[in-house]
């Protein structure tokens, strides 16, 4: 088991006081072990599947908090083997290492520093799984993590896992968990799965509906939905690991969400719990779609505060309208949705992608997986939401035109993003043209329409009216 005990004994709080935390952490771990049914001497096994920025940070936080209790818990992370670190990234990684004395000392002590010197000189090729063992995520080089136990064989990683953390993009979740299901055929106990994935798929037959990563996992593995949870919130992975204050919600069945919220909670990372799993999960994917447009607007207007605020007003009004289609109690989602949207627009990879696309530094031909950033989930979300909301069977009565229209007709920003990113019938400039269209209604009108009409479509989430 690779781990570190550095900094584990004490927690430093915002007021500067230091408190011993080992006893508290062990008590939380023992409580979760009892609930899972672990016998004395049998360590609880937590496995992260997927090593993107958020998946790596989440596993590293658990390692930092509980890794010293090796007889009670084992934490490991799986990532695919073979991905190499290019020369430019290796050079940057070397600079990061030498700028952090604690990291430099750690690598020297582990006899691992020389390989980074050789990689910088071009005398050695590093691989993503290799550097992850030393605490470096390829999608987040500037934020060194703690050393971790890394496994590249999926069967070895998951076959006996008690808790699985899904850190995969939504576009890869189904495929990987279908493979995982092969290794769980002989299991007696059912694992608990926490999905971090933000993204959705559209399923149009037999009727239009949204498929979320937790549903993909349920279909692929047969693990009951009560054992599958979603964790998300308004936060940025690197800032969480640097112990900037953040919060998140873990959503799912009460049996698991409450004890897991307690287990995951730290002084700088507050975890709340909520029973509305699917709707929160869908909202986590929705804001990524609109974040791409925010990045475009920022780039095309030279960071104009006025233009960005106009875009924010229109995109949030569309998101609020969509929540009225998806939820019987949409007001409960407004706070989390707006908070998550705000932080994603400020510093998320989707807004970054939109900005680089508008500036010409990236092109659509590069695909939705970008070196150094990982999967841009907003692209698939734009496609899925557009396809779903274009279905005539979901038509709603337009209050002004007094005729039925597909819901997407009330979402001009979403339509424009689809034309830019998916249909490729327009350039990034189209997002500004949409904002400046003289026929564009006041965003408040869309919200008022949603609040005064029965737009709820439970079938979109596979529920009965």
Tell whether 33 and 91 lie within a shared domain: no
Per the model's pLDDT, the better-predicted residue between 130 and 247 turns out to be 130
For 204-251, strand residue ranges (E) read 209-211, 228-232, 246-251
pLDDT of residue 13: 39
Q: Which domain holds residue 115?
A: 87-126
Judge whether 136 lies within some domain.
no
Give the predicted TM-score (pTM) of the model. Answer: 0.89
* Token couple for 278: 């699917």
Q: What is the pLDDT of residues 370-391, one digit of tens each?
A: 988 888 999 999 999 999 999 9
Judge whether 205 lies within some domain.
yes
Give Cα 348 to chain centroid, integer Å: 10
Domain harbouring 65, CATH code: 3.40.50.720
Domain harbouring 409, CATH code: 1.10.1040.10
pLDDT of residue 3: 41
* Token couple for 324: 């009225």
Judge whether 283 lies within some domain.
yes
Q: What is the pLDDT of residues 37-67, one digit of tens each?
A: 999 999 999 999 999 999 999 999 999 999 9
Domain endpoint, select from 277, 295, 319: 277
pLDDT of residue 136: 97
Tell whether 189 and 253 lie within a shared domain: yes
> What is the number of structural domains in the chain?
3
Tell whether 294 and 412 lie within a shared domain: yes
Q: Say yes or no to pLDDT of 10 above 60.
A: no
At 272 the three-state DSSP class reads strand
Looking at the chain, the whole-number percentage of residues with pLDDT higher than 90 is 68
Judge whether 134 lies within some domain.
no
443-452 and 305-326 helices cross at what angle (nearest 10)? 10
Q: Which is it for the CA torsion 214, 219, 222, 226, positive or negative?
A: positive
Q: What is the pLDDT of residues 436-465, one digit of tens each?
A: 887 777 888 888 877 777 788 888 887 755
State the average pLDDT over residues 349-359. 95
Q: Say yes or no to pLDDT of 319 above 50.
A: yes
Peptide bond into 177 cis (omega under 30): no
Tell whether 270 and 298 lie within a shared domain: no
Tell whether 183 and 265 lie within a shared domain: yes
Judge whether 243 lies within some domain.
yes
Q: Is 287 a catalytic residue?
A: yes
Cβ atoms of residues 17 and 94 within 8 Å: no
Give Cα 115 to chain centroid, integer Å: 31
Q: Tell me how crowded residue 111 is: count the other CB atoms within 10 A of its CB.
A: 8
* Tokens 């349920």 belong to residue: 218
Q: Which is it for the CA torsion 383, 389, 390, 391, positive or negative?
A: positive
What phi and psi values does residue 90 have, to the nearest 5 degrees? -65, -40
pLDDT of residue 464: 56
> pLDDT tier at 8 (50, 70, 90 boundaries)?
very low
Tell whether 428 and 306 lie within a shared domain: yes
Looking at the chain, the whole-number percentage of residues with pLDDT higher than 70 is 95
Q: What is the pLDDT of residues 158-209, one digit of tens each?
A: 999 999 999 999 999 999 999 999 999 989 999 999 999 988 899 998 889 9
Q: Say yes or no to pLDDT of 77 above 90.
A: yes
Judge whether 450 lies within some domain.
yes
Domain endpoint, select from 254, 277, 300: 277
Tell whether 178 and 251 lie within a shared domain: yes
Per the prediction, the chain carries an average pLDDT of 89
Per the model's pLDDT, the better-predicted residue between 417 and 284 turns out to be 417
pLDDT of residue 256: 96
Domain endpoint, select from 231, 253, 277: 277
Candidate list 72, 149, 287, 356, residue with the active-site label: 287
pLDDT of residue 85: 95
Tell whether 250 and 381 lie within a shared domain: no
Tell whether 96 and 240 lie within a shared domain: no
Tell whether 102 and 56 lie within a shared domain: no
Q: How crowded is the C-beta side of 322, counted as CA atoms within 13 Å?
A: 32
Strands 18-20 and 44-49: unpaired
Judge whether 301 lies within some domain.
yes
Tell whether 254 and 374 lie within a shared domain: no
Nearest to residue 352, comparing CAs of 397, 304, 298?
298
* Tokens 């800032």 belong to residue: 239
Judge whether 137 lies within some domain.
no
pLDDT of residue 465: 55
State the average pLDDT over residues 237-261. 93
Tell whether 351 and 254 lie within a shared domain: no
> pLDDT tier at 285 (50, 70, 90 boundaries)?
confident
């Amino acid at each position: 088991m690779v781990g570190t005990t550095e900094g584990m004994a004490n927690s430093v709080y915002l007021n500067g006081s230091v408190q011993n935390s080992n006893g508290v952490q062990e008590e939380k771990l023992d409580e979760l072990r009892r609930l899972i049914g672990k016998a004395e001497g049998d360590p609880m096994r937590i496995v992260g599947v997927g090593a993107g920025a958020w998946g790596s940070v989440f596993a590293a936080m658990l390692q930092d908090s509980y890794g010293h209790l090796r007889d009670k818990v084992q934490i490991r992370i799986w990532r695919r083997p073979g991905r190499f670190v290019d020369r430019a990234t290796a050079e940057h990684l070397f600079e990061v290492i030498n700028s952090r004395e604690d990291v430099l000392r750690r690598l020297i002590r582990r006899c691992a520093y020389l390989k980074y010197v050789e990689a910088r000189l071009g005398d050695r090729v590093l691989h993503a799984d290799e550097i992850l063992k030393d605490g470096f995520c390829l999608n987040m080089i500037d934020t060194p993590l703690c050393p971790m136990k890394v496994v590249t064989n999926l069967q070895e990683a998951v076959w006996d896992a008690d808790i699985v953390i899904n850190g995969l993009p939504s576009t890869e979740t189904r495929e990987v968990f279908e493979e995982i299901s092969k290794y769980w055929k002989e299991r007696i106990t059912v694992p608990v799965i926490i999905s971090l994935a933000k993204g959705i798929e559209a399923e149009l037959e037999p009727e239009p509906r949204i498929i979320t990563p937790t549903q993909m996992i349920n279909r692929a593995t047969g693990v009951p939905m009560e054992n599958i949870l979603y964790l998300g919130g308004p936060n940025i992975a690197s800032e969480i690991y640097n112990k900037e204050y953040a919060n998140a919600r873990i959503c799912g069945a009460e049996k698991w969400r409450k004890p897991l919220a307690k287990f995951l909670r730290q002084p700088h990372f507050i975890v709340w719990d909520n029973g509305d799993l699917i709707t929160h999960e869908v909202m986590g994917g929705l804001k990524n779609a609109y974040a791409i447009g925010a990045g475009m607007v920022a780039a095309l207007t030279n960071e104009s505060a006025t233009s960005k605020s106009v875009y924010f007003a229109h995109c949030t009004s569309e998101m609020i309208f969509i929540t009225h289609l998806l939820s019987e109690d949409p007001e409960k989602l407004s706070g989390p949705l707006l908070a998550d949207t705000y932080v994603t627009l400020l510093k998320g990879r989707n807004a970054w992608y939109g900005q680089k696309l508008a500036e010409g530094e990236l092109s659509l031909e590069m695909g939705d997986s970008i070196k150094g950033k990982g999967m841009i989930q907003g692209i698939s979300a734009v496609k899925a939401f557009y396809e779903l909301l274009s279905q005539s069977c979901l038509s709603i009565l337009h209050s002004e035109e007094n005729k039925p229209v597909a819901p997407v007709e009330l979402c001009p920003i979403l339509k424009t993003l689809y034309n830019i990113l998916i249909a490729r019938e327009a350039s990034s400039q189209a997002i500004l043209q949409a904002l400046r269209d003289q026929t564009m209604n006041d965003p408040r009108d869309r919200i008022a329409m949603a609040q005064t009409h029965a737009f709820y479509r439970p079938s979109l989430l596979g529920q009965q009216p």
